[in-house]
Amino acid sequence: MRQILVTRPKADFSRTAKKLAQMGYKALHAPMMKYRPLDFKPPKTNAISALIFTSANGIRAVENHRDLRNLGCYVVGAQTKQMALACGFEVLAQGDGDVETLCQAIEADYKTRQLTKPLLHISGVHQAGNLSQKLADVGIVTERIQAYIMDEIEHLPADIIELIKSQKLDAMLFYSQRSAKIFLNNIGNLGLMSAIAEIPTFCLSKTIAQRVCTPYLKHIYSAAQANEDDLLALLQKKL
């Protein structure tokens, strides 16, 4: 059975592992970040038009703020939408897994509904893309709350290190620029960069592939759309 390294945080790994198992692959876990909620006080709901979630972690972070569920929300992609609905949120519109399409979806829906109040972005401390500026450029005011942080994991599991040394990984999956950077830093610190150079690497977006992976890895593929279904379909096609 082919072995696929997944670098997602623990909360997201089980879903990915299940999908890989259904495809006939064995998922191996090397999380590069750990979710940690932060204390925050959201504004009153009557001062906000809707919420923005650019990650499922944002939804996890507001689980104890039940009054926020009275607001509709915009979500970055299909998986975040699924979690938002499961938690009782009304999803107003969704992107295709990236900030650019999310902003387009928000602009169209916000103006169609003739909303006027600011949007509240429930985000992590680290974020990719300048969502607030993109929306400001089209006349939409956004407030941002840093509701969680993804702490860096500065080591690889011992069993994963041994598999890398023995060339027994068949592919690697990267879901964010930051997790890919942390992984490659850990690999570099171990002196194992040459050991992973030939491993087929599958990235959720072209940005991850081009900005992080290209200098170090030789066989890099990126999903056509930034969602897991497209990523895993690409994996199955190329392996």
> What's the pLDDT band for 79 if we cut at 50, 70, 90?
confident
pLDDT given at position 127 = 84
pLDDT at 129 over 90: no
Range 21-26 average pLDDT: 98
Rounded-to-integer distance, Cα 114 and Cα 127, Å: 28
Q: Write down the pTM of the prediction.
A: 0.89
Report H helices in the chain.
10-22, 56-61, 78-86, 99-112, 131-136, 158-165, 177-190, 193-196, 206-208, 228-238
Identical topology for domains 3-32+154-238 and 35-150: yes
Q: May I ask the CATH architecture of the domain 35-150?
A: 3-Layer(aba) Sandwich (3.40)
Domain boundary assignment for the chain: 3-32+154-238, 35-150
Structure tokens at 168: 């027994």
Q: pLDDT > 70: what percent of the chain?
A: 100
Q: What CATH topology corresponds to 3-32+154-238?
A: Rossmann fold (3.40.50)
pLDDT given at position 170 = 98
Q: pLDDT > 90: what percent of the chain?
A: 92
pLDDT at 107 over 90: yes
pLDDT in tens, 184-230: 999 999 999 999 999 999 999 998 999 999 999 999 999 998 889 99
